[in-house]
């Protein structure tokens, strides 16, 4: 499969999944997860990653709307740094 076909597939998948509701996304991801247990197709894992990214983006946007004045947490290498340097 050449690069253009791969990119076209990924972009069309992202557009397709971004128009789904949260419940539809969860159901679709579960179907893909079950397929991934039987098959080692890399396309399935890429589609699952797209769904995960969309879900994370939606959760972050929801949090931003609910907490507009929230202070961001500074993280370095996955660890929360102590606040004693303020």
Segment 11-39, tens digit of pLDDT: 677 888 888 899 999 999 999 999 989 98
Segment 56-86, tens digit of pLDDT: 999 989 988 998 887 776 556 656 656 665 5
Please tell me the pTM assigned to this model: 0.66
Q: What is the pLDDT of residue 5?
A: 65
Lookup result for tokens 């890429």:
46
For 77, the 3-state DSSP assignment is coil
Q: What are phi and psi of 41, to 5 degrees?
A: -70, 125
Kindly tell me the number of DSSP H helices and DSSP E strands found in the chain.
3, 2
Higher pLDDT, 3 or 79: 3
């Amino acid at each position: 499969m050449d690069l253009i076909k791969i990119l076209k597939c990924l972009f069309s998948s992202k557009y397709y999944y971004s128009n789904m509701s949260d419940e539809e996304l969860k159901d679709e991801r579960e179907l893909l997860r079950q397929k991934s247990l039987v098959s080692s197709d890399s396309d399935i894992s890429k589609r699952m990653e797209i769904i995960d990214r969309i879900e994370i983006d939606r959760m972050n946007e929801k949090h931003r709307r609910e907490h507009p004045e929230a202070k961001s947490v500074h993280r370095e290498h996955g660890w929360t740094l102590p606040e004693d340097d303020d």
